[in-house]
Structure 1
């Protein structure tokens, strides 16, 4: 399965009042492995960032002035995410901006090019109700280093979120074990080890008699038939 972890930086909070996308970062995952095939673009929004937004991402108007405009990278972005499952933290925010940018160009909304969208904020709230579920909090919870994250950056945040997503969704989904062994020459991943044949050992006659004696004592205590009789082979 091809998945794209995506993040954006913007000039502010609301595309309907003129705020624009200024950075897009995408990290590709294929069959739960990071491929290194990433997509990253800075974009000239043709306007200044709000002071609060600038304090978050640090991308100045001067820095962005010679970067391509959104219409110049829209087709590249569309092709990169085409038919992939897109993973976003707080998806309504990023999708609201991307859909708006596509609509400004007379194109179908961004989400129409994706096979599905996963919101890791929703997933995290289900897994960790009542706890902080920001990207920084999830990095701490899953032991992912974010010490180099001084400012928000779309590609950096996508890389962190990719690690968080893989950690958050790592679980046993079949009756086998993935055994990882560290060797002197490097790590080696052994193949899944299937469970052996299940052996059923029946109780011996004396064990059944002792079990029935315990049930009889319970019957006497409740002055009737105890509930365990319903499940007892002797009942």
Structure 2
């Protein structure tokens, strides 16, 4: 697919449902950890996951970016949330009649553990002794049914530009995919931490037996 007529812009709040639809179609089940643990059957929508995404999209200061063609069809999405240096939790409470699925909870436990390990090592988190507010790039996804070169990088770049415009000078990305890690490197982000999936075990069991392409989870950051 050619990039002619492609536009990258910030999403409007009324488009958030379409963003969540896109994530379900082109991210869930394909991202390395979700694929490795067989998070859900193809075509199944997890109400809890949808609610998890939506509270982050609506979180104060969150940046939500979409790539679309001239007809308005979504080709890629990305969103980032703000974690204030004060430690304030600005992400709303998830209100969903369904409980968090066990496999998704296991993914969240891993991501929480990994983030704690990485962020404690990140020298970009402070400037002149002052802790900085953090813009964390949460999900970046492009069409899974057709390859569109450069979409992920352009969505990433737009998120960066918007973050800088809003005075956010500390940006982080927890990369579960080697594809996202490549985008970070290209954008000049620094790798802070890396951990092999095969070494993350619970009760002696490897939780995420990922493919050879995605051997490590990595954490990148950049100070502006």
TM-score by shorter chain over 0.5? no
Q: Name the one with the larger strand percent.
A: 2
Q: Which has the larger radius of gyration?
A: 1
Q: Name the one with the larger helix percent.
A: 1
RCO (CA 8 Å, sep 6+): is it higher in 1 or 2? 2
TM-score (norm 1): 0.25
TM-score (norm 2): 0.26
